[in-house]
Structure 1
Amino acid sequence: MTTTIDAEIRRCGEAVCARLLDEIEKLGIAPGRLARLPFYDQAEFESSRDPYSGEETLCGHWRDARGHSVGQIKFHGDGSFYAEFDIVLPHPTDPRWFVEGVTAWGRGEVIKGEAKLLEALGE
């Protein structure tokens, strides 16, 4: 049973990571500009209890070379998930925006995603 659940979470996690990478690509950011990318196999996982529902949540974290968090992916007991990954770069084609990161969320086969943009500081 655990093996089946692990395989399902892995399949879902890989799809969520693919969505994060799609959002990065949509922005026009070349993967080579980022020191780290959101690959499922590179996340460090731990289990925690959701304080609201009391259900188990599997939390994965991506870290940079110094050990600082640059993203997370969470699988909740109700089947939903949420992921975010830091970009922290000026928008490559629109100077009005700064790209804070990308997010993905959903349940089952439904995965939504978007960029987290901040208004760029004026000069």
Structure 2
Amino acid sequence: MRSTLQVRLEQTQGLMEELWDEMDACLRQAGLSSPLPDRIEPTRSELREDPFDHSLGLYLEWRSGSGGLLGTVLVYASDMLFAEFDVLAAHPGKAGWVVEAVTAWGNPGALKSELRLLPALAE
């Protein structure tokens, strides 16, 4: 018998594909190559209770081989999601800016994404 976590992972497979495509497009539009994991299984997956309505959301995280956090995705019971993955690269089109991360949010069929920028340190 499949666990609730396994069922939820299967239910969100299409949404995860849509998420990866959205974040990849955001990165490509800025002229960056994607630092996203190659659609591999997350390092950690669990169901988390939402403190507001007590529904169960799906939490996913990806870590590097050395244990560093690469990114996270939280899919709420309503299928609304929030995702964030580290980029840490100079912005190719904006001198003096660093791309800290790519974030995405929204509902299936209506995901949005953007780069989170930081000013580069002065030399």
Q: Fold match, TM over 0.5?
A: yes
d(CA) in 1 for partners of 2:16, 2:33: 22
Secondary structure of the residue that 2:121 maps to in structure 1? coil
Say if 2:8 and 2:58, in contact at 8 Å, map to a contact too.
no
Q: CA deviation at 1:111?
A: 0.5
Secondary structure of the residue that 2:48 maps to in structure 1? strand
Aligned residue pair count = 118
Give 5+ residue unaligned stretches, structure 1.
none
Q: CA deviation at 1:39?
A: 4.0
In structure 2, the residue matched to 1:12 is 15
User: What residue identity is the alignment partner of 2:28?
Assistant: E
Please show how residues 1-123 of structure 1 align to structure 2 within 5 Å.
Answer: 6-31=9-34, 34=35, 37-43=36-42, 44-123=44-123
Cα displacement string for residues 73-101 of structure 1 (whole angstroms, at most 9, x for unaligned residues) = 11101221111110011112322211001
User: What residue identity is the alignment partner of 1:13?
Assistant: M
TM-score (structure 2 length as normaliser): 0.83
d(CA) in 1 for partners of 2:41, 2:10: 16
Cα displacement string for residues 49-108 of structure 1 (whole angstroms, at most 9, x for unaligned residues) = 112221101011111111121101111012211111100111123222110010111012
Q: What's the RMSD between the two structures over aligned residues?
A: 2.0
d(CA) in 1 for partners of 2:10, 2:116: 30
d(CA) in 2 for partners of 1:50, 1:29: 34
Secondary structure of the residue that 1:42 maps to in structure 2? coil
Q: Percent identity?
A: 29
d(CA) in 2 for partners of 1:10, 1:67: 24
Give 5+ residue unaligned stretches, structure 2.
none
d(CA) in 2 for partners of 1:111, 1:64: 26
TM-score (structure 1 length as normaliser): 0.83
